[in-house]
A and B are shown apart, each in its own frame.
Chain A
């Protein structure tokens, strides 16, 4: 079946940039997402990119997609302590709304 993989942990200093990486296997993915999970809460969609795009920028967030290598990344500029959370990469290939999530990357921001 489809697989989405991420590193488990990332630690950065406040003010630095964070880059969270993800690889996926489903070549028919139409949308790729980044969800954010804050402590004790559910997941919330942070941003997404359509599979025919290479890059999407949204304020401090930059999403890069390398479809050939099936690699997705999320860059957070000027990382703040409020960005500390678990970030999930996910992909969607249409049909019955089935979304496959990665294992999540826990981002720790050091003041």
Chain B
């Protein structure tokens, strides 16, 4: 089975440009998470969705960040305008609520490394 698929794997852009990161969760998973990883802050949860509905976006740093999930198989994280301090690796993860013995395991994509010059 295909895992979580993220694109692009690497993005280099200039300050002020719009950045769109994409994620395809594992089929059948009804939770989707966006995380950001930096040396300074570690792994931060930005936002997560359940059945395409945003549940908690309290981790989104600023209004420049937005995330959408138009359907069960696709999500985007957009930064507009981008700034150098947004440089990080952005991970998408998916999960599903298993009846009975739910372990909460997350399945991560390989990440999108963003560099804003």
Contacts and interface: CB of A to CB of B under 8 A. Distances in A.
Interface stretch (B13-21, B41-49, B64-72, B76-84): B41-49
A42 to B, nearest CB: 3
B90 to A, nearest CB: 11
A41 B97 contact: no
B43 A88 contact: yes
A43 interface: yes
B104 A101 contact: no
Contact of A98 (B43, B48, B111): B48
Contact of B4 (A30, A42, A45): A42
B31 interface: yes
A22 B64 CA distance: 34
Size class of the contact patch on chain A: 20 to 34
B86 interface: no
Interface in A24-46: 30-31, 33, 35, 40-45
Contacts of B4: 42
B108 A31 contact: no
Interface in B67-113: 91, 93, 95, 97, 102-106, 108-111
A30 B109 CA distance: 25
Contacts of A102: 42
Interface of A: 30-31, 33, 35, 40-45, 48, 88, 92, 94, 96-104
